[in-house]
Amino acid sequence: MQKINVKSGAKIDDYKAYGSLNSSVLDFIEKATQPIASLNGSTIWMINSTAIGGGVAEMLPSQMRILRELGVSIEWLVLDANDPNFFDLTKRIHNAIHGSGDGKFTETDREVFEATNTANLSDALELIKDGDIVVVHDPQPMPLAAMIKKQRNVAIVWRCHIGLEEDTAITDAVWNFLSPYTDDYDHFVFSLPSYVPKSLKEKTSIIPPAIDPLSHKNRALQLHKNVGILYQSGILDDHKAILYNRYNHLVRRVMPDGSFGSPNQHNSLHLIYRTFVTEISRWDRLKGFKELMQAFIKMKKDNREHGDPESLEYKRIKMTLLVLAGPDPAFVSDDPEGEAVLKELTAQYQSVDPEMQNDIAILLMPLDNPKENALIVNALQRSSTIIVQNSIQEGFGLTATEAMWKRKPVLVSGAAGLKFQVEHDKNGKINEDPTDIGKLAETLAYMLNHPKERDKWGFNGQLRVIQNFTLFSQLISWLEVLSAQKST
Ligand code: UDP
């Protein structure tokens, strides 16, 4: 078990200084006082399986910083694991909770699952004392609860960050496999109501994911900084950044011959001078990239064939670019599925005419430096005209939250997590079926041709995030859950 050292960062006063965040911070402090007082004497132990990468590792440091500033004792432990069979199993569990895979779990799997957790137990017991509260994140450390409880008088909460809206034979099988472990938990936290397995409903709270408005991915960027990041990362080529040099690793773009080149090598994107529609995600089939590209191509072709070249509508669509951005596979090991999806998108890109290819940029973002990656995502999102999340399935869709926070109009599918966040015609558009290419093309064209509505949607989106999906709304819910554990 590794105890993670959380570096210093934004303070409560830094958040309070933002006019738009001020009242939610004050509200949080007021509501937090009592639950924090009730936690006095207990340490909160967060346990997960990784210190870097993934939403949990991204959000924990800012949550912990805020709680610590208010006097809460909170620590973060990461499971030590080096058995490849353990990783294979936990990946299968993860997939099965999402409804994919074969749903087969054996007694050998159980032994593998428990062996890695048993190996971490003594470290945990050295630190955790009677009266503390433990929060176990996701399936990997799940068996630890029973083991810890045998020796310590503690409340243990299981925080599940994943889920599927419906019950299938596969989800039933995995929940069945996990049931001996869920029995040992005092409480559960899921992201959406529809993800909670029936058997756990009574002891569950819903806490949706949230963003940290001052993280590198979400903090405000002055125009020169925004453009500077686009230059530093290689996306812009025409004007050198004055203060800083280029990043060590640059963004690459899929070329018409299928190779990876620099973003402006084949044709100049003129990114900041054009409207552009962006989807940023992992290269996963469920993110709906393929369908989005098809819809963009259809919209452009319809415009070419039937539009009036003198009209503003025609020109708006003609000047629009599509940006599909995701991780550069050079920095991701062991993701054959992601590579296959990128290959499919590349083939799709190669099959369109050269004029269309100039209007589509499949961008590969380096991952060697998390801060730079976050700033690139931030700058791309802030420069976009519309942000799309066309997911076929989506746990939550933080990319939509991030976009709304940045006052960007969003176009999302009806996938559970997205529908939970986005209000149709208020923050953008919900296009229910991400595979309905005609409807998607039409919605995109409508959004591109209604700039004033886009402005309104952007403003409403930011308000929606401030009221429901920031660090502060999330921490209030967490404190309620934790203090309830203390009183039981
Ligand atoms: N993201 C990123 N770099 C990438 C692709 C995605 O930083 O190359 C980020 C994105 O900004 C978001 C997160 O990864 O914060 C993805 O979270 P989301 O809930 O949208 O989907 P998930 O990947 O968890 O399915």
Which pLDDT value is given to residue 58? 85
Question: For residues 212 and 62, is the Cβ–Cβ distance under 8 A?
Answer: yes
Ramachandran angles phi, psi of 158, nearest 5°: -105, 125
Q: How far is the CA of 376 from the centre of ligand 1 (A)?
A: 12
- Going by CA atoms, what residue is nearest to atom 22 of ligand 1? 397
Ligand 1: centre distance to CA 16 (Å): 27
Q: What pLDDT is attached to residue 268?
A: 95
Nearest CA owner, ligand 1 atom 17: 398
Indicate the domain borders of the chain. 2-210+470-487, 223-468
Distance CA 181, CA 285 (A): 31
Give the number of the atom of ligand 1 that is nearest the alpha carbon of residue 396.
19
Burial class, 198, CB count within 10 angstroms (exposed 0-12 / middle 13-18 / buried 19+): exposed
> Ligand 1 — pocket residues by CB below 6 A?
55, 217, 280-282, 326-327, 365, 373, 377, 395-399, 402
Q: CA–CA separation, 264 vs 385, rounded Å?
A: 20
Q: What pLDDT, on a 0 to 100 scale, did the predictor assign at position 322? A: 98
CB atoms within 10 A of CB 206: 15
- At the topology level, CATH places domain 223-468 in Rossmann fold (3.40.50)
Strands (E), 336-445: 360-365, 386-389, 410-413, 428-431
Task: Please name the amino acid found at residue 400.
Answer: A
Query: Which bin fits 207, alpha (ψ -120 to 50), beta or left (φ > 0)?
Result: beta
Are 2-210+470-487 and 223-468 equal in CATH topology?
Answer: yes
| Per-residue model confidence (pLDDT) at position 488 | 67
Q: What is the CATH number of domain 2-210+470-487?
A: 3.40.50.2000
What pLDDT was estimated at residue 25?
Answer: 97
Q: For ligand 1, atom 9, which residue shows the shortest CA distance?
A: 281
Cβ–Cβ < 8 Å for 481, 488: no
Rounded Cα distance between 393 and 316, Å, is 30
Pocket-testing residue among 233, 365, 369, 399, ligand 1, by greatest number of atoms within 8 A of Cβ: 399
Bridge-based pairing state of the strands 187-190 and 155-159: parallel
Q: Kindly provide the residue ranges of all beta strands, DSSP E only, lying in 328-424, ordered along the sequence.
A: 360-365, 386-389, 410-413
Q: Could you tell me the distance, in angstroms and rounded to a whole number, from the CA of residue 315 to the centre of ligand 1? A: 32
User: How confident is the model at residue 486, as a pLDDT?
Assistant: 85
Alpha carbon 388 to chain centroid distance?
A: 14
**CA trace torsion 88, 89, 93, 95 (10° rounding):** 20
Query: Which residues are CB-neighbours of 62 under 8 A, at least 6 positions away?
Result: 9, 10, 212, 214, 215, 471
Which ligand 1 atom sits nearest the alpha carbon of residue 417? Answer: 19
CA of 216 to the centre of ligand 1 (A): 14
Q: Answer left, alpha or beta for residue 163, where phi above 0 means left and psi between -120 and 50 means alpha.
A: left
pLDDT in tens, 368-422: 998 999 999 999 999 999 999 999 989 899 999 999 999 999 999 999 999 999 9
CA of 323 to the centre of ligand 1 (A): 15
> What is the chain's alpha carbon radius of gyration, rounded to the nearest angstrom?
23
Q: Which of 281, 328, 402, when mutated, tests ligand 1's pocket best, judged by the most ligand atoms within 8 Å of its CB?
A: 281
What angle, rounded to 10 degrees, do the helices at 107-127 and 84-97 form?
100
Per-residue pLDDT of the chain (488 residues; tens, 9 = 90+): 999 999 999 999 999 999 999 999 999 999 999 999 999 999 999 999 998 877 788 899 999 999 999 999 999 999 999 999 999 999 999 999 999 899 999 999 999 999 999 999 999 999 999 999 999 999 999 999 999 999 999 999 999 999 999 999 999 999 999 999 999 899 999 999 999 999 999 999 999 999 999 999 999 999 999 999 999 999 999 888 788 899 999 999 999 999 999 999 999 999 999 999 999 999 999 999 999 999 999 999 999 999 999 999 999 999 999 999 999 999 987 778 899 999 999 999 999 999 999 999 999 999 999 899 999 999 999 999 999 999 998 989 999 999 999 999 999 999 999 999 999 999 999 999 999 999 999 999 999 999 999 999 999 999 999 999 999 999 999 999 999 998 66
List, for residues 393-404, the tens digit of each pLDDT value.
Answer: 898 999 999 999
